[in-house]
Structure 1
């Protein structure tokens, strides 16, 4: 008979994770949102199926034995890719990242014969597990790769992704200014706390594998508790502060020209061209930390003064690195800013052109129309509609 705690944990919580997960995967947004959704769905499956493996119930549901095993190769990649794309929300997903999920696929394939094999084989495996009192060293005939090697591979996967994620987070924070870190304080604190909970859970898991924590006869463990806290923590963040799903803001919205397409003026030496590259990097950092391009009164002299360079140096750097005039450069940032906001926040999709023009720093609807028409050869309405179809 289910008690209240079991009903909430194994069934209500798993259902809640699935609902949020499916919502995040299906909604428009950057890749991080979808990876977090997949993480919720995977974690919900783990909680739900773990009910049938606790308190000796696995002998009543032998078909579910080791079904969860491949999922442990998903937690690391999903958590890492979620962190990566949260820090860089404007980067498109690359197909090469699908290789992160290859261990999951291979392990699932090797267990397929066991999953669809006779129930007697599963019951025999369960008895070996209960007799040996260990998930690591019991005599297993399921799969091709020995169980102890699979366990080591899982630990290496979880540890590697956790440490790589922390390294990525530290490197990202070290490369940003105090103003940028302050602006993204909430999202960075979220990622730090999430990484800390994951590391603590990993410590308990490793302690069990090396024998520091004894076998608990398939009951709820401290590692389960920490994993659950991590999942509930992320769930609470999504529910109470959904704006954090927009990711760290900003990243450079205007792409540089390829070096082969840059045209130097006659007499420009390599040192000066390198200086233009340096100026463009400072310019992008300034806009990331302080989006002054949203000021409709911004002029070239103000920006040059902020960068402590001459107006000519600023204009030449923009022309050489981006292939744009100063007005077109600023308007490109503004347009891409609006595209980004509309893509990540459905509320912005309902804004009128007047409100978009004001929010984007154009000053008026006509200013937005002129900029979009000059840079993209169409009207704002058609331009934004096309961008939504491309999402």
Structure 2
């Protein structure tokens, strides 16, 4: 990647790989860039957190930036990156026009993480107690922003095959503007699985997920109110251990030792938690993207029961590493079966290895980096063929630019008035 030696990533937040799948995904990208010898700078306007990764440990420069402030322009011109990666479309909205203005020849890459439009449309349909329809996406207000951001960028990373199809077929985004890049994971070897605890050495159920993410919180409520009582009636000695970063008081209030429903809070080591548990439960009723919790389960030899949305775009034609069920009664029945049946459990463990090795191999990063390098070399022609992107950059750059400058001037005048 001789033409992509200097890379800037603009983060919505600082990476927390132990808190969310998005944090893990970001670190996979960073490590892929570093492996090729690129200099990587990670910048964000977010406040530091207690659980953010120490970027210096990975040879990454950390830069605190401001929203709606021309100091970013000065920083950008000085850095002069070959590639800018926007972490989700909101950062592209804030900083995309500044990158285009200060560094017009810089390649602009959007990491979508998951398709927010899909997640919000499904969530709205769920709350309205109706079936989600594909046309709901066209009515979702956030779609106008997210799809516009995708067109303004030179390339967008998409983590799910389902979302690739939606972007291409529903929103008519040309495939030249999209790149499918799922989780980048090392292959699971036979000796890795042999080191995992056996069926007999494990006990209880686990649910895990960042509580700030609405689909996770809803899944925990679903477990508490409908699914767990059914499982508990069949397995009275079993417990459900619920883990997740950033639990609120309302989360802690769900803890009930008598029911075996135990809120554990943040998992210090997800691998340790998963490897000691017999079955992972992920009854997600809305959401998008790929589910890091289910990847963690498969990597630790832990079968799972999830929904169609939970398993979406993960098995890709292979059988699931456990069961898929979309109603509470069936979900509880499948969870009970998986918990008790050694043969089915062992088969699910092997299936998880197959899914990881076939669908999420880290070698995909090599092809991605080659694609980026070629795109950088052919950037003028690529942009000329993205007329909608040129049009949106022309108009939105003007409106976003002047709104940002107005906010900056307002803040500056406010500061002087305080003096």
Name the TM-score, length of structure 2 as normaliser: 0.25
Task: Choose 1 or 2 for highest CA Rg.
Answer: 1
User: Which structure would you say has the larger RCO, counting Cα contacts within 8 Å and 6 or more residues apart?
Assistant: 2
Name the TM-score, length of structure 1 as normaliser: 0.26
Greater helix share, structure number: 1
Greater strand share, structure number: 2
